[in-house]
Amino acid sequence: MLRTRFALLLACAALLACGDDPSDPSMDELGSIRVLITTTGDTPDQNGYAVSLDGGAARTVAVDGTVEFSDVDAGSHTVEIRDLQVNCSVDEPAPSVTVTPGATAETRFDVTCPLALFDQIVFTADPGLGTGGDLHRMNPDGSGVVRIPSTDGADAFAAVSRDGTRIVFSALVSGNEDVYVVGADGTGLTRLTTDAGRDREPTWSPDGARIAFVSERDGNQEIYTMAADGTDLRRLTNEPGFDSQPSWSPAGTRIAFTSERDGDTEIYSMATDGSDVVALTDDPAVDAQAAWSWDGTRIAFTSNRNGTFDLFTMNIDGGNVQPLVADASFDRSPVWSPDGSAVVFMSDRDGNFELYRVPASGGDAVRLTDRPEFNQVWVQGWGPPPP
């Protein structure tokens, strides 16, 4: 009898030594989580996504793929999807999933990636149909021209949001010029301003939260900002001379603009609340249409300081002015490429206003548009760099 009890004690000790502690979970208490990914939209994220479990190491999954986490404790867990392309979104990026012992739980992410104008040039062209101007987009080499549906009026002064999904612009409809926003595919047209005074020349803040624009609602041409939905109007300038052509810095801290406040047309910059106004140019000629480079180190602008309207660049403090384009024609409206290597502008050097591209360091300009059906072409903006 004693020998039998001793054998049982040895057996129990052996089991404990092998780790069969009743407090440890057995394989029967573990489960797994399968994550399904589906992606829809015109500009999907070709690089895929990162999916993690309970904040752990991320695993890569394709835009339409599956990833499985095994040996997961029973209970509630959080699955998170990360590294979404800037134009992509999900309804719930970090849902909770309950694991049952011995079973596989499933969750899914339905990712939506609407059309985004990555590295696309947006411009206004007058097709001679009496509308005065329609929004268009094209590739950086001038190919792939597509009309963007918007208003029935004259559309102008378009700017692309930094996620590439929205275009803000002004339109003259039924005798009144207001600011509108539309999706990159022409859907979701929304009127943002309704004042009887002209509202025009809108531009996005880098984070897409606010829009700067020019308005005559108070009897003089001044610069305002508003929330992206048209609310929270704020007046930034209040000078007798006109203020126009706002251009938001990539850092979101300054706005460059054109003003006649000192009796001459010059370029200034100010803080985004209208304070700290600094003159960037000081020349008897007309200096206007400031455009920040995407890295925030240079500003391109138009000036007739050499007798004709040409393009120049300068540092953001107004120093180191350099000629960019010099031609006997009318060159204006510079817009930087996202990588900073080139500037697109409009010119009538061949007898009609068309779009041209020139290296940011200067050199020969290449014609991008040659559309006889367009009476004139006005460059407006350049979409963000490809992800």
Question: pLDDT confidence of 2, banded at 50, 70, 90?
Answer: very low
- 228 and 148: one domain? yes
Each residue's pLDDT tens digit, 249-307: 999 999 999 999 999 999 999 999 999 999 999 999 999 999 999 999 999 999 999 99
Cβ 133 vs Cβ 355: under 8 Å: no
Question: pLDDT confidence of 328, banded at 50, 70, 90?
Answer: confident
Q: Considering the domain boundaries, does residue 246 fall inside one?
A: yes
CA dist 169 and 199 (Å) reads: 10
CATH number of the domain at 248, please: 2.120.10.30
Cβ 370 vs Cβ 347: under 8 Å: no
For β-strands 104-112 and 30-40, DSSP reports them as parallel
Partner residues linked to 343 by β-bridges: 336, 358
- 105 and 140: one domain? no
For β-strands 342-347 and 331-336, DSSP reports them as antiparallel
Q: Count how many domains the chain has.
A: 2
Each residue's pLDDT tens digit, 44-66: 998 999 999 999 999 999 999 99
Cβ 54 vs Cβ 73: under 8 Å: no
CATH number of the domain at 106, please: 2.60.40.10
Does position 9 have pLDDT exceeding 50, yes or no?
no
- 172 and 88: one domain? no
The distance of Cα 194 from the centroid of its chain, to the nearest Å, equals 25
Q: Would you state the pLDDT for residue 359? A: 97
Range of the domain at 102: 29-112
- 88 and 236: one domain? no
- 221 and 340: one domain? yes
Question: pLDDT confidence of 130, banded at 50, 70, 90?
Answer: low
User: Which of 84, 112, 140 is at the close of a domain?
Assistant: 112
User: Which of 112, 131, 166 is at the close of a domain?
Assistant: 112
Characterize 335-368 residue by residue with b for buried, 16 or more Cβ atoms within 10 angstroms of its Cβ, and e for exposed. Answer: bbbbeeebbbbbbebeeebbbbbbebeeeebeeb
CA dist 221 and 215 (Å) reads: 6
pTM score of the predicted model? 0.87
Each residue's pLDDT tens digit, 301-317: 999 999 999 999 999 99
Each residue's pLDDT tens digit, 81-123: 999 999 999 999 999 999 999 999 999 999 999 999 999 999 9
- 85 and 104: one domain? yes
Question: pLDDT confidence of 129, banded at 50, 70, 90?
Answer: low
Q: Considering the domain boundaries, does residue 8 fall inside one?
A: no
User: Which of 112, 132, 158 is at the close of a domain?
Assistant: 112
CB-based contacts of 329: which residues, under 8 Å, 6+ apart? 308, 347, 348, 349
- 54 and 196: one domain? no
Instruction: Kindly write down the DSSP assignment for every residue of 320-384, as one continuous string.
Output: S-EEEE--SS-EEEEEE-TTSSEEEEEE-TTSSBEEEEEETT----EE----TT-SEEEEEEEPP
Q: Considering the domain boundaries, does residue 24 fall inside one?
A: no
